[in-house]
Structures are given as structure tokens and as C-alpha cells.
Amino acid sequence: MIWHAWSIDRILILFVSLAFLALGIQVTMFHYRQNFHNKSMWVPVISAPIFFIAGMILTWCNVGWLHSLFSVLMWLGVLFGLVGFFFHFRGVGIRVDGWSLSNFLKGPPIMLPLLFSAMSVLGLIAMYWEVS
């Protein structure tokens, strides 16, 4: 299959890919700051560039196996973000004073893993939305 125009799904795949590049940089800085004290911190650091590369290739080469690969990666991204939210929310709670506003401001950012999931959901929308 060849892309014939810049359809909305192609634009969304490009946007999601670029968003994963930015997210990957931000997540890497945050997790590096924490010295990767938990091995699970490597998951978004490694997966975000893979999502970026797969999406960029799919943006330019519209082939069936890339569609399948990108869909699987986006489903994994949803899962990774939800697991990350659990770890971040728990991380706020184990700080002194528990789930206080101060700990939500200074502790692990609970919205960043949800953004990871949200970008993955947008990628899935681009993959599965049927234009009539």
C-alpha cells in the first residue's frame, strides 16, 4: 500500500510519533534524575524511541506489517502508561505525609504516565478509525 495523500490517520501517526520523541526525552530526564532506582523505569525510556521510530517509518511507508506492529506497540504503550501511573501514584503515597498536595507537587509526576497512555490511545484511534 502506498500513501496517496496526507490523510488524517497519517497526520495522527506522525503527531503521535513526534509526541513519543518528546515524551521519551522528558521521561529519560526524570528517571535519570532518580538514578533508575527501579528497573521498571527503563520501560518508557526504551519503548518511547521504539514507538517514535516505528511511527515515523509507518508515516512514510504504508505497509501492512507496519500497521500491525504499530498497533501492538500502541497497545503496549497503553499498558505501560497505566502501570507507570500505578508506580507514580504509589510513589507519592510512600513519601512523608502520604498523599498530600505537597507530595503531589514534589513527588513523581502522576500525569506523565497517563499522557503516555493517552498518546498510545490516540495512536490506536488513528489505526482503527474507519472513515466512511
Per-residue pLDDT tens for 33-47? 999 999 999 999 999
Q: Grid coordinates standing for 60?
A: 512514510
pLDDT on residue 132: 56
The answer to whether position 53 is within a domain reads yes
Q: At what angle do helices 111-128 and 64-93 cross, to 10 degrees?
A: 160
Q: State how many domains the chain has.
A: 1
The answer to whether position 52 is within a domain reads yes
Give the residue numbers spanning the domain of 94. 8-128
pLDDT on residue 83: 97
The answer to whether position 3 is within a domain reads no
Question: Which amino acid would we find at residue 21?
Answer: L
Is residue 5 over pLDDT 80? no
pLDDT band with cut points at 50, 70 and 90 for residue 1: low
The answer to whether position 124 is within a domain reads yes
- Give per-residue pLDDT as tens, 51-97: 999 999 999 998 999 999 999 999 999 999 999 999 999 999 998 89
Alpha-carbon distance of 120 to 17, in angstroms, equals: 10
The answer to whether position 2 is within a domain reads no
